[in-house]
Amino acid sequence: DAGVIQSPRHEVTEMGQEVTLRCKPISGHNSLFWYRQTMMRGLELLIYFNNNVPIDDSGMPEDRFSAKMPNASFSTLKIQPSEPRDSAVYFCASSQNDQGARGYTFGSGTRLTVV
């Protein structure tokens, strides 16, 4: 299995531009999570999906952030317009959410720099 695949690995953009981060979860995993990691705030959950349905987006900072999961094998996180404070590493993770709790598999992350 190729694991959780994220793209791009690095993104440098100017303030005000739209940024789209992509994620392909592990086949068969029905839960998908978007986390943001910074030195100041650590690993923060932004949003998660179960069976392609958004369950909790309370961690999404503001309306500039949006996420979609149109099918079981693809999700996007969009920031429009981007701001310097959005600079962080964004991780996508997937898990099999069934009767027993399962661990997450994280993607390699997207390092976003907004200048």
Q: Which residues bind another protein (CB under 8 A)?
A: 31, 33, 35, 42-43, 45, 48, 50, 55-56, 91, 95, 97, 100-109
Q: Whole-number minimum distance, CB 81 to another protein, in Å?
A: 27
Quote the least distance from Cβ 82 to another protein, whole Å.
22
| CB nearer to another protein: pick between 45 and 81 | 45
The H or E element that residue 21 is part of is strand 19-24
The rounded distance, in Å, linking the Cα atoms of 27 and 58 is 26
Token couple for 90: 């964004």
Question: Please, which residue, 52 or 105, has the CB nearer to another protein?
Answer: 105
Q: CA angle, 50 as apex, 73 and 41 as ends, to 5°?
A: 95
**Which is nearer to another protein, 87 or 105 (by Cβ)?**
105
d(CA 5, CA 87): 20
